[in-house]
Amino acid sequence: MERLKKLIKEVLSTPPKKDKCNCGCDSCENIGNQGPILNENITAKIIMSENMKYHVDNKVALTENTFRYGSDAFLDLWAEARYLYSRNAIHVNDLDKEILLETNLGEYGIYEGKKVPLDLPMLNEEKSKTKKKNPPLNKPKRGGSKAYYVYVRDPKTKKIKKVSFGSGGLKAKINNPEARKAFAARHDCKNKKDKTKASYWSCNLPRYAKSLGIKSSFTGFW
């Protein structure tokens, strides 16, 4: 697999090598990247698809096929090329040969009950490993290890942190004026400013009552 990745990336990033052609036509500008050539010593009738015939007639390397990478046509071309090459019906350049001999590109296997293509690397795997999408910040949700949780960005580390807070009792206190007052005093809510602490979000829970589905006519501070 690693070899295949290197080969395909080499084709995409390296200009063709220019040298004198030895395929017999004395006109190719890049022998290192020439297309499939029929073996004239094969007397049996060779049946080829139109796609393969195009590569043979126009001396276009298999690695330069224009089909969408990973498409059925892309894979079918490699499968057909391997079939013809294994029967000595065509000659291919060194790069195409390595892919045909060292990989199973164009063939399929069964993985977890599904048919999947073999040896089909993602060309931009390094780039495709994009950063995980950040969760919405400062928006409390139900669930987690406690009654609620929220994602915040730590101003010191600049990293996103999950803060779990609250219990079922908080929900009941929101609609009880005396309980709200006692809770605010006991937890010193007026001085809770650090959003990375559970106490801040517990003190500010009434502000998010509606978004959390808590039935309450009170949405202010405790």
Using a 10 angstrom Cβ sphere, with 0-12 exposed, 13-18 middle and 19 or more buried, the burial of residue 90 is: buried
**Residue recorded with tokens 């499939």:** 36
Q: Flag whether pLDDT at 6 surpasses 70.
A: no
Helices (H) and strands (E) in the chain, counts: 8, 7
pLDDT, tens digit (0-9, with 9 covering 90-100), for 18-36: 444 444 444 444 445 678 8
H helices of the chain, in order, are 2-13, 50-58, 72-86, 94-102, 125-128, 168-173, 177-186, 198-203
Provide the pLDDT for residue 75. 93
Give the residue with greater pLDDT, 6 vs 127.
6
Average pLDDT over residues 106-117: 88
pLDDT, tens digit (0-9, with 9 covering 90-100), for 79-104: 999 999 998 999 999 889 989 998 88
Q: Flag whether pLDDT at 127 surpasses 70.
A: no
pLDDT, mean over the chain: 80
Q: Flag whether pLDDT at 9 surpasses 60.
A: no
Contact 62, 95 (CB under 8 A): no
Contact 114, 167 (CB under 8 A): no
Give the domain ranges of the chain. Answer: 2-128, 141-208
Average pLDDT over residues 160-180: 84
pLDDT band, residue 121 (cuts 50/70/90): confident
Tokens linked to 177: 């004026």
Rounded CA-CA distance 14/158 in Å is 40
pTM above 0.85, yes or no: no
Burial 192-216 (b: 16+ CB within 10 A, else e): beebeebebbbbbbbebbeebebee
